[in-house]
Amino acid sequence: MQWRALVLGLVLLRLGLHGVLWLVFGLGPSMGFYQRFPLSFGFQRLRSPDGPASPASGPVGRPGGLSGPSWLQPPGTGATQSPRKVPRRPEPGVCGPAHWGYVLGGRDRGPDEYEKRYSGAFPPQLRAQMRDLARGMFVFGYDNYMAHAFPQDELNPIHCRGRGPDRGDPSNLNINDVLGNYSLTLVDALDTLAVMGNSSEFQKAVKLVINTVSFDKDSTVQVFEATIRVLGSLLSAHRIITDSKQPFGDMTIKDYDNELLYMAHDLAVRLLPAFENTKTGIPYPRVNLKTGVPPDTNNETCTAGAGSLLVEFGILSRLLGDSTFEWVARRAVKALWNLRSNDTGLLGNVVNIQTGHWVGKQSGLGAGLDSFYEYLLKSYILFGEKEDLEMFNAAYQSIQNYLRRGREACNEGEGDPPLYVNVNMFSGQLMNTWIDSLQAFFPGLQVLIGDVEDAICLHAFYYAIWKRYGALPERYNWQLQAPDVLFYPLRPELVESTYLLYQATKNPFYLHVGMDILQSLEKYTKVKCGYATLHHVIDKSTEDRMESFFLSETCKYLYLLFDEDNPVHKSGTRYMFTTEGHIVSVDEHLRELPWKEFFSEEGGQDQGGKSVHRPKPHELKVINSSSNCNRVPDERRYSLPLKSIYMRQIDQMVGLI
């Protein structure tokens, strides 16, 4: 009898210890699959300040009474899928309510280690130091490119030499899709020079591009990459030069005669053959800049590559007064949209441009789909076309219905925190258990529509991975808790979301995140002549490549995060960033069209008497990339307790507590 009493006592002691740990530190056993380090806020059942406990919204039950981890469950139950009930969400452009101050353990709880570590004060001196470090990072990479690589496309920072297209192996698409033998890194970096206020180098670089860069090349490039990196940068720099307000300093060019705009037009004309001889209107993925579509070209393209051309092509059309470019880009978007699943509203990631058949049925937020969603919203912000917003809202609703797993609300209820998974576009069934680094852009997109609380929660997940490895692996298996693809090519997506979340919340936590990212880049990726791709995020071995987006995006967003007085934030002009981080001003000039009748909408008439839609003032209040909220954020809503709870979550994930 004594041994039975002893066993019973030990069991009760263990249960009691788990209960105490769960309540006090959030260290209790996870009901999900996070067995090595629980992904848990430590508050599985949260109470509102004046109400009872929130209803549980954790794992979805399976037939027969069984339940499993909520992220592994489909969005509906039974044989027939049904969309999950979407939690309360603010309308686009409206910042939703927040509860962070309360959920951290009550109003009487004093500062803990996280509040001390991430205190409300991010000293001005430290902020200036981080701003200068970000600028120095850009200058080091840019100067070495100009010294060792120009006029080639990219810098090999380890061996201090340039890199161009791989002529010996045309199938090396990792290189040849991007590098067109047109001084890519210099072109891509133009507006970063302006944003950092370096007028002399900006003017010098623009003249160098005008005098040395040509697109009359025997280079086969990906239409998407050429559009976002080269066309977008030329248009951004042109707008900066011709801006009458000159907010970044004197960026004007003596005797400038719209050369960059003409270069953009020349490049776009060379890309137009991709839209010809396609039965669906979806463009071929690649063109030769001199001869057009190669005869042996692939008929399969990814959704993001074909459907993320509208911002750059639309700006070009509206600046030139020529509808051709916007028309072909918009036709491609509509063609893809019409191929979405009738049941789920989701799109796949790879499609045949001749048959319209989905070759890749995976639907997610990462590679193959990411910028398609981004450009639906950003096209509306720029051009005010109502159909773009309608498509985005419908796509976002489908994402919430079928891709979002975990508890209903980010900061209340039971179950695992939210995660967006990869599913079959037709059934909504889980296809795999990994996410890729490109998905880290999505919290930033959520900020732009005002879904700030979900953005905060999702950003914490990606930052936790960064904190664990000092980088974001290209692919991470959330079930195995390990990277699937181990390299990190200096991508900007997490930095972009960090910057936008800081602009929306003004919470110093995101300055600490930016400092952490800066220090990791300096420690692990800086080499003799620049910054190198991490080949392996665990052993920190490097590859000899510095992609152009490191200067055009990663350095730019880090600099803007710490440069509080930058004209982007102070000039009163509304700015937006393209998917390559190129800055464009949002103004009414881009909403005026002489060819409005081509895009039939409701509400009003054009000069020919045809019915068209004219956006109402309230429809144009979608949050832009500089202000990020229609009203000044209430910093009390996202104050110190937010940092405490998310740092606890992050440290739990990386096994630090």
Minimal CA–CA distance to 218: which of 253, 181, 164, 173? 181
Tokens encoding 354:
């001749």
Tokens encoding 220:
């086969």
Compare 136 and 100 and report the one with higher pLDDT.
136
608's CB contacts (< 8 A; 6+ apart) are: 597
Minimal CA–CA distance to 552: which of 579, 517, 585, 582? 582
Query: Is the pLDDT score of 22 beyond 50?
Result: no
Place of tokens 């840019």: 142
Q: What is the pLDDT at residue 588?
A: 84
88: pLDDT confidence band, cut at 50, 70 and 90? very low
What whole-number distance in Å separates Cα of residue 301 and Cα of residue 429? 23
Q: How would you classify the pairing of strands 358-360 and 475-477?
A: unpaired
Query: Is the pLDDT score of 50 beyond 80?
Result: no
CATH class given for the domain over 122-592+627-652: mainly alpha
Q: What is the pLDDT at residue 573?
A: 63
Do residues 643 and 115 make contact, with C-beta atoms less than 8 angstroms apart? yes
Q: What is the pLDDT at residue 14?
A: 57
Query: Is the pLDDT score of 62 beyond 50?
Result: no
Read off the pLDDT of residues 476-522 as tens digits, 9 standing for 90 and up.
999 999 999 999 999 999 999 999 999 999 999 999 999 999 999 99
Can you count the helices (H) and strands (E) in the chain?
A: 24, 20
Percent of the chain exceeding pLDDT 70 equals: 72
Q: What is the pLDDT at residue 17?
A: 53
Residue 442: CA atoms inside 13 Å, Cβ hemisphere, count? 31
Compare 49 and 457 and report the one with higher pLDDT.
457
Query: Is the pLDDT score of 95 beyond 60?
Result: no
Query: Is the pLDDT score of 636 beyond 60?
Result: no
Q: Tell the burial category of 171 from Cβ atoms under 10 Å away from its Cβ (0-12, 13-18, 19+).
A: exposed
What whole-number distance in Å separates Cα of residue 156 and Cα of residue 582? 23
What whole-number distance in Å separates Cα of residue 585 and Cα of residue 578? 11
The catalytic residue positions are 225, 370, 474, 493
Read off the pLDDT of residues 140-180 as tens digits, 9 standing for 90 and up.
999 999 999 999 999 999 999 999 999 999 999 999 999 99
Q: Kindly list the domain boundaries of the chain, sorted by start residue.
A: 122-592+627-652
Do residues 599 and 606 make contact, with C-beta atoms less than 8 angstroms apart? no
Q: What is the pLDDT at residue 318?
A: 94
Q: What is the pLDDT at residue 44?
A: 27
Read off the pLDDT of residues 335-369 as tens digits, 9 standing for 90 and up.
999 999 999 999 999 999 999 999 999 999 999 99
- The reply to whether 579 sits in an annotated binding site is yes
Residues 523-552, mean pLDDT to the nearest whole number: 98
- The distance of Cα 258 from the centroid of its chain, to the nearest Å, equals 31
Tokens encoding 201:
């180098």
434: pLDDT confidence band, cut at 50, 70 and 90? very high
Minimal CA–CA distance to 322: which of 274, 259, 275, 262? 262
Read off the pLDDT of residues 280-308 as tens digits, 9 standing for 90 and up.
999 999 999 999 999 988 999 999 999 99
**Residue-averaged pLDDT of the chain:** 80
What whole-number distance in Å separates Cα of residue 67 and Cα of residue 136? 52
Neighbours of 507 (CB within 10 A): 25
65 dihedral zone (left: phi>0; alpha: psi -120 to 50; beta) = left
Residues 115-143, mean pLDDT to the nearest whole number: 88
Distances (CA, A) of 30 to 413, 456, 570: 14, 21, 45
DSSP character for 639?
Answer: -
Q: What is the pLDDT at residue 119?
A: 54
16: pLDDT confidence band, cut at 50, 70 and 90? low
Q: What is the pLDDT at residue 589?
A: 83
Query: Is the pLDDT score of 255 beyond 60?
Result: yes
Tokens encoding 215:
């697109």
Indicate the helix (H) or strand (E) that contains 495. Answer: helix 493-505
Q: What is the pLDDT at residue 597?
A: 52
Q: Tell the burial category of 15 from Cβ atoms under 10 Å away from its Cβ (0-12, 13-18, 19+).
A: exposed
